[in-house]
């Protein structure tokens, strides 16, 4: 069968210019489809807009879409337009939001919803389509109707049983994928899940609380097939299984692979295994994304972060001493006062991180935080779930809250640190990067308008 997989628009061109990762999940699906002898194309609507022209020329029998929560309305509108072009196209939606809240896709223009891992599910769906069989026996589906029917959940497979993502399907886009100064950038998944239980995160719940990991030897095989000089480990937490990552570092060194790496790690992981980070520095670890999240131990406890402020300083010092870049993540609680914003700015500056990533604490569907806060939500607009808008009541007036949030982004990093970080970009892109950053700040300052 002919299949078209679409990665929807993100909704923010300014953010896309700063970080845009390849649609790895769709590349996994594409690899599985090609193994089954289906034809497949991937369309990245963040980089191209006219998916309708491709639909008309390629004429797929099946279209697959993926969506995060803030893309819910976008994807439903796309499904409607696809059906308007050809009502015979079979539309399938998967991805994070489809997994945690499939009923939101119970609309007439969507034929099936996939919950959880999609490689095997999509293969089985196409088999049923070809043989004109019903889908009830397939695990992990949401079947639209007057009420959505959910088939039993699909256990997540052994990661080593999945095919290597087919990156040839995104060949024409690959020069655009980036993470800040790391461009071009490839993504690789070496594990899934997390050993921690933060209330705002759904990722550990999606694997049933298990930490799933790939064998280092298979990761080496995939790394050797990647042409990009920069690689993002899109794991939920890469270093949980430190012995596996220690072995992987040895294999990378022995193989002669020369790349720069960017990965997620927890504060306590850095504290427990400083020598592991030193070893990874030697083989190319350039930057680590760390969720510091707050400036108070009370909020860290409320979020079940299981770290302390003292540990934050120790972890930051370890990475700074190793000269590994730190992308520090911090969450703004909607209950913040002006004094809280100032205390957060002071705390961020004292940690001496290279890049500050600030978001608004957002109770995403599928998280413990969502279940405890859903009665307090002030908006049902999916586009508000982008971590740049509040979906909870604020203590400050909304206009003032967003003004303080935008000020935080300007003041949290000293000018010299900002200039040093911008210096990592290629010369021809530095001014554009600064303009994009200011564009984001301007959008945030005016974000109160979404609530009007």
For 28-73, what is each residue's pLDDT tens digit? 999 999 999 999 999 999 999 999 999 999 999 999 999 999 999 9
pLDDT reading at 341 higher than 90? yes
Instruction: Report the domain count for the chain.
Output: 2
Same domain, 143 and 196: no
Instruction: Kindly state whether residue 275 falls inside one of the protein's structural domains.
Output: yes
Task: Name the residue among 216, 211, 213 with its Cα closest to residue 283.
Answer: 216
CA 43 – CA 360 distance, rounded (Å): 30
| Range of lowest pLDDT (78-87, 196-205, 326-335) | 196-205
Q: Give the mean pLDDT of 333-356.
A: 97
pLDDT, position 14:
65
CA 73 – CA 71 distance, rounded (Å): 6
pLDDT, position 440:
86
The pLDDT tens digits of the residues spanning 247-273 come to 999 999 999 999 999 999 999 999 999
Same domain, 311 and 380: yes
Task: Name the residue among 198, 377, 390, 372 with its Cα closest to residue 299.
Answer: 198
CA 178 – CA 193 distance, rounded (Å): 23
pLDDT, position 258:
97
The DSSP H or E segment spanning 285 is strand 285-293
Q: Among the three residues 135, 150, 165, which one is the final residue of a domain in this structure?
A: 150
Instruction: Kindly state whether residue 166 falls inside one of the protein's structural domains.
Output: no
Instruction: Kindly state whether residue 116 falls inside one of the protein's structural domains.
Output: yes
Same domain, 204 and 90: no
CA 140 – CA 142 distance, rounded (Å): 7
Q: Please, what is the average pLDDT of the chain?
A: 94
What are 349-352's contacts with CB under 8 Å, separation 24+? 349/412, 349/413, 349/414, 350/313, 351/292, 351/312, 351/313, 351/316, 351/326, 352/316, 352/320, 352/326, 352/417
Task: Name the residue among 22, 10, 8, 35 with its Cα closest to residue 122.
Answer: 35
Domain, as residue range, for 404: 177-451
Instruction: Kindly state whether residue 164 falls inside one of the protein's structural domains.
Output: no
CB distance 116 to 206 below 8 Å = yes
The pLDDT tens digits of the residues spanning 19-29 come to 899 999 999 99
Instruction: Kindly state whether residue 168 falls inside one of the protein's structural domains.
Output: no
Q: Among the three residues 87, 115, 150, which one is the final residue of a domain in this structure?
A: 150
Between 324 and 432, name the one with better pLDDT: 324
Task: Name the residue among 2, 36, 38, 4 with its Cα closest to residue 23.
Answer: 4
Same domain, 224 and 75: no
Q: Looking at residue 184, what DSSP letter applies? A: S
Instruction: Kindly state whether residue 291 falls inside one of the protein's structural domains.
Output: yes
Tokens of 225: 């097939």
Domain at 105, CATH number: 3.40.50.2300
Domain at 398, CATH number: 3.20.20.70
CA 34 – CA 20 distance, rounded (Å): 25
The pLDDT tens digits of the residues spanning 283-316 come to 999 999 999 999 999 999 999 999 999 999 999 9
The pLDDT tens digits of the residues spanning 194-239 come to 888 999 998 887 887 889 999 999 999 999 999 999 999 999 999 9
pLDDT reading at 15 higher than 80? no
The pLDDT tens digits of the residues spanning 151-171 come to 999 998 899 999 999 999 999
Same domain, 223 and 108: no
Instruction: Kindly state whether residue 416 falls inside one of the protein's structural domains.
Output: yes
Same domain, 184 and 309: yes
The pLDDT tens digits of the residues spanning 106-122 come to 999 999 999 999 999 99
Ranges assigned E (strand) in 201-275 = 212-213, 230-233, 260-264
Instruction: Kindly state whether residue 316 falls inside one of the protein's structural domains.
Output: yes
CB distance 105 to 93 below 8 Å = yes
Tokens of 150: 């959910």
CA 10 – CA 52 distance, rounded (Å): 17
Same domain, 138 and 228: no
């Amino acid at each position: 069968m002919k299949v078209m997989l679409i990665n929807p628009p993100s909704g923010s061109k300014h953010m896309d210019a700063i970080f845009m990762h390849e649609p790895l999940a769709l590349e996994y699906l594409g690899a599985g489809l090609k193994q089954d002898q289906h034809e497949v194309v991937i369309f990245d609507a963040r980089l191209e807009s006219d998916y309708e022209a491709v639909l008309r020329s390629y004429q797929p029998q099946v279209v697959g879409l993926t969506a995060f929560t803030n893309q819910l309305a976008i994807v439903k509108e796309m499904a409607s337009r696809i059906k308007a072009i050809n009502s015979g196209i079979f539309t399938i939606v998967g991805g994070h939001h489809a997994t945690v809240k499939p009923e939101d896709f119970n609309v007439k223009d969507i034929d099936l919803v996939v919950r959880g891992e999609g490689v095997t599910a999509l293969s089985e769906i196409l088999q049923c389509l070809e043989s004109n069989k019903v889908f009830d026996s397939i695990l992990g589906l949401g079947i639209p109707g007057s009420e959505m029917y959910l088939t039993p959940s699909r256990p997540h497979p052994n990661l080593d049983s999945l095919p290597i993502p087919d990156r040839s399907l995104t060949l024409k886009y690959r020069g655009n994928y980036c993470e800040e100064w790391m461009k071009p950038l490839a993504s690789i998944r070496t594990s899934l899940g997390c050993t921690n239980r933060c209330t705002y995160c759904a990722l550990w719940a999606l694997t049933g609380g298990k930490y799933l990991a790939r064998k280092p030897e298979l990761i080496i095989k995939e790394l050797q097939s990647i042409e990009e000089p920069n690689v993002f480990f899109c794991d939920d937490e890469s270093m949980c299984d430190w012995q596996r990552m220690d072995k992987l570092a040895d294999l990378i060194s022995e193989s002669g692979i020369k790349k720069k790496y960017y990965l997620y790690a927890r504060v306590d992981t850095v504290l427990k295994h400083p020598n592991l980070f030193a070893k990874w520095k030697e083989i190319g670890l350039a930057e680590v994304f760390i969720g510091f999240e707050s400036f108070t131990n009370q909020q860290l406890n409320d979020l079940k972060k299981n770290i302390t402020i003292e540990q934050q300083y120790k972890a930051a010092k370890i990475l700074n001493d190793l000269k590994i870049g730190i992308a520090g993540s911090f969450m703004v609680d909607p209950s913040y006062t002006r004094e809280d914003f100032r205390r957060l700015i002071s705390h961020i500056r004292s940690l001496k991180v290279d890049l500050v990533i600030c978001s608004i604490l957002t109770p995403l569907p599928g998280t413990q935080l969502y279940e405890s806060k859903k009665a307090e939500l002030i908006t049902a607009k999916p586009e508000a779930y982008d971590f740049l808008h509040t979906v909870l009541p604020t203590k400050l007036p909304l206009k003032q809250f967003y003004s303080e949030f935008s000020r935080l982004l300007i003041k949290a990093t000293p000018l010299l640190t900002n200039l040093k970080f911008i210096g990592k970009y290629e010369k021809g892109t530095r001014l554009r990067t600064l303009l994009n950053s200011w564009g984001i700040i301007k959008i945030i300052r005016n974000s109160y308008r979404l609530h009007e």
